[in-house]
Copies of this chain bind each other. A is one copy, B any other.
Amino acid sequence: MLTASVCTIGDEILIGQINDTNSGVIARELNKAGIKVVFMASVQDDEGEIESKINFLRQISDVVITTGGLGPTKDDKTKNIIGRMYNSPGNYLHQGQLDIISGICKRRGFELSESNRNQALVPDCCEVIVNKNGTAPGMIFRGDYIKNTYLPTLLFLLPGVPYEMEYLLPEVIEYLKKVYPIEDIYHKNILTHGIPESKLSDMISEWEKSLPACVSLAYLPDPKIGVKLRISIYGEQKIIAGNIISKAHSSLSSILKDNIYGEDEDTLESVVAKLLKNRSATLSVSESCTGGRLSSRITSLPGASSYFKGSVTAYDNKVKNSLLNVPEQIIEKFGAVSNECASLMAEGTRNVFGSDFSIAITGIAGPEGGSEDKPVGTVWIAVSSKNETITRRFSFTGKRDQIIERSASQSLDFLRLFIENKTI
């Protein structure tokens, strides 16, 4: 399998000033194209560092893709360092890129400066990938010698600005496909909720042992998602990979049953949205300890207004009465974090918003407010339709933010099972 390393260049990454998102994008696209990313690195804007680390990467992979370090400012040195590394006798002016640079300057009303013009200067030994969206061109360096040993590694330099990089990346992949035979790779994500990673691992360990060698399985836990199981098939033909995947999917379904809620790019929000849209049904929610997080997640999807009526964050207990019509005596008698309050909140919410379904969450996100009886992490969730209201008590661990996120996820999964009439 063709292997690649990805390298981002820039002090701003190493001091944690910006998060590197380029590496992820490049890895995703290479992976889709059947190229295996074996290493990702970020290096400083320092001549010695750039040279030594790029040479290291050239020795561990067939392809190296760098981003950054091609700008017009003084801390952007990559091009010259690489030219020298490859013993390039000099630079040449790439007319196509210069034309684009001139056009950009003209549109912005600037004179073409010396430093603008220098951006079209590239080492003699490289090929250029013209950058129509910016001033710095991409560059391709073919194999070369390191200490008398010939390395066939292909080196690509791409600009660091994400949308410029993303524009040039398909050309890099096209180039690679012409030069190398590329092996196929297939992925499938199975999304689960309600089973912790370690228990999941125990439940499917027998099945996992039976997987053919071309299959690899990864567990990806996330408080927003649950546990994502990623099945990857290497070096098989599409039709065979497809068969393996569908067999795996059905085996997992028979073990994990309703704990599987979706696949690939699905989310709890999108799965619930689909269920509601299929039924032309509407939803409203009320939140106490989650403080708006559930509503915020539901409305993060474009088009949520077709099924989502709205929400109330009833942070003050009085609001549970004044807006959601939960009787004050109920809160006094059972407390706001109770089966009774959750249930009446959900019903009140459904009535007030006139929706088909509703969710209510009331709990203790901490760090304060817990008691022996109801420790931090105690959360009551209710789901309601005109026929039925169901409540459950949950105990979540983690910090405030984790408890909030998990409560929101759990409530969406709760609603999914409720709408589908499945065991909760």
Taking beta carbons and an 8 Å cutoff, which residues of A are in contact with B?
10-21, 23-31, 36-45, 49, 53, 56, 71-75, 104, 107-110, 113-116, 119, 133, 135, 161, 163, 167, 187, 196-199, 201-202, 208, 216-221, 230, 232, 287, 290-296, 298-300, 302-305, 308-316, 318-319, 322-323, 352-354, 366-368, 377, 395, 397-402, 404
Contact = CB atoms under 8 A, between A and B. Distances in A.
Given A75-B217, A313-B292, A23 B39 contact: no
Given A53-B39, A115-B201, A312-B323, A163 B402 contact: yes
What secondary structure prevails in chain A residues at the interface with B?
mixed
B17 A20 contact: no
A161 B219 CA distance: 12
Contacts of A110: 196, 199
Given A221-B161, A315-B299, A352-B323, A71 B16 contact: no
Given A19-B24, A42-B23, A133 B397 contact: yes
B299 A291 contact: yes
Contacts of A298: 291-292
Given A15-B28, A110-B196, A295-B313, 7 more contacts: A16-B23, A16-B24, A73-B197, A75-B216, A300-B404, A309-B318, A310-B323
Contact of A133 (B24, B38, B399): B399
B295 A368 contact: no
A353 B316 contact: yes
A56 B230 CA distance: 29
A197 B164 CA distance: 15
B291 A300 contact: yes
Give the 6 A-B CB pairs with smallest separation, nearest first.
A291-B299, A16-B28, A292-B295, A16-B27, A292-B292, A292-B296
B42 A40 contact: yes
Contacts of A56: 56
A163 B405 CA distance: 12
Greatest chain B CB density within 10 A among A56, A104, A305 is at A305
Contacts of A43: 39
A77 to B, nearest CB: 12
B24 A18 contact: yes
A37 B13 CA distance: 9
Contacts of A312: 310-313, 323
Contacts of A199: 110, 113
A205 to B, nearest CB: 8
Given A163-B401, A308-B315, A218 B45 contact: yes
A239 to B, nearest CB: 22
B219 A73 contact: yes
A237 B299 CA distance: 50
A133 B45 CA distance: 36
Greatest chain B CB density within 10 A among A24, A26, A43, A313 is at A313
Nearest to A75: B218
A108 B397 contact: yes
Contacts of A113: 198-199, 202
A181 B395 CA distance: 44
Contacts of A196: 108, 110
Given A15-B28, A395-B108, A41 B44 contact: no
Given A108-B395, A308-B315, A398-B163, A72 B291 contact: no
Contacts of A377: 107
A114 B217 CA distance: 20
B11 A218 contact: yes
Contacts of A40: 13-14, 20, 41-42
Contacts of A315: 299, 304-305, 308-311
